[in-house]
């Protein structure tokens, strides 16, 4: 396996996450706030909320049981290939990824059941995990 040209530091964000879909005209619900990692994206046809799985009501359409990896910087805001170097070894080995980028870093959500395999693949590609 060829190592990535970028070697990044990663860490797991504590908890288990969900990716919820609400109607485009929905207001942002109260359960979508609080401590920890949250991402809220409104598009023309939906409102997507990424947050701790334990706060998403059962009746809300959501994909659950996601683990969250985060890059540990700093690195240049305009650095090319950061997301690609992370998702390429995962995608090419059948691991689906949901990516949320923030100003300071990338968050990769992978299914909890793929955690061990994802770590092995990312380490084999030159990335390292820190606590």
User: Is residue 46 in a domain?
Assistant: yes
Q: Let me know if residue 118 belongs to a domain.
A: yes
Q: How far apart are CA 16 and CA 7, in angstroms?
A: 26
Residue 42 belongs to domain with CATH number: 3.30.2130.10
Longest dimension (CA), the chain: 46
Half-sphere exposure of 120 (CA within 13 A, CB side): 6
Residue 104 has pLDDT above 70, yes or no: yes
pTM attached to this predicted model: 0.88
| pLDDT tens figures, 44-70 | 999 999 999 999 999 999 999 999 999
Q: Kindly report the CA angle at 89 between 86 and 91, in degrees rounded to 5? A: 95
Give me the helices (H) in the chain, please: 82-91, 115-124
The end-to-end CA distance of the chain, in Å, is 25
- Residue 4 within a domain: no
**Could you tell me if residue 41 is inside a domain?**
yes
Residue pair 16/36 in contact (Cβ under 8 Å)? The answer is no
Three-state DSSP class for 66? strand
Number of domains, the chain: 1
43: confidence class by pLDDT, cuts 50, 70, 90: very high
Range of the domain at 72: 9-129
């Amino acid at each position: 396996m060829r190592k990535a040209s970028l070697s990044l530091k990663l860490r797991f964000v504590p908890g288990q996450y969900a990716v919820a879909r609400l109607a485009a005209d929905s207001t942002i619900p109260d359960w979508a706030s609080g401590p920890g990692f949250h991402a809220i994206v409104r598009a023309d046809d939906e409102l997507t909320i990424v947050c701790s799985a334990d706060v998403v009501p059962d009746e809300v359409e959501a994909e659950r049981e996601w683990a969250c990896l985060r890059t540990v910087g700093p690195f240049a805001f305009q650095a090319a290939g950061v997301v690609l170097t992370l998702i390429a070894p995962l995608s090419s080995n059948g691991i689906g990824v949901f990516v949320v980028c923030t100003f300071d870093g990338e968050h990769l959500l992978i299914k909890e059941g793929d955690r061990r395999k994802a770590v092995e693949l990312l380490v084999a590609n030159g990335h390292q995990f820190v606590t």
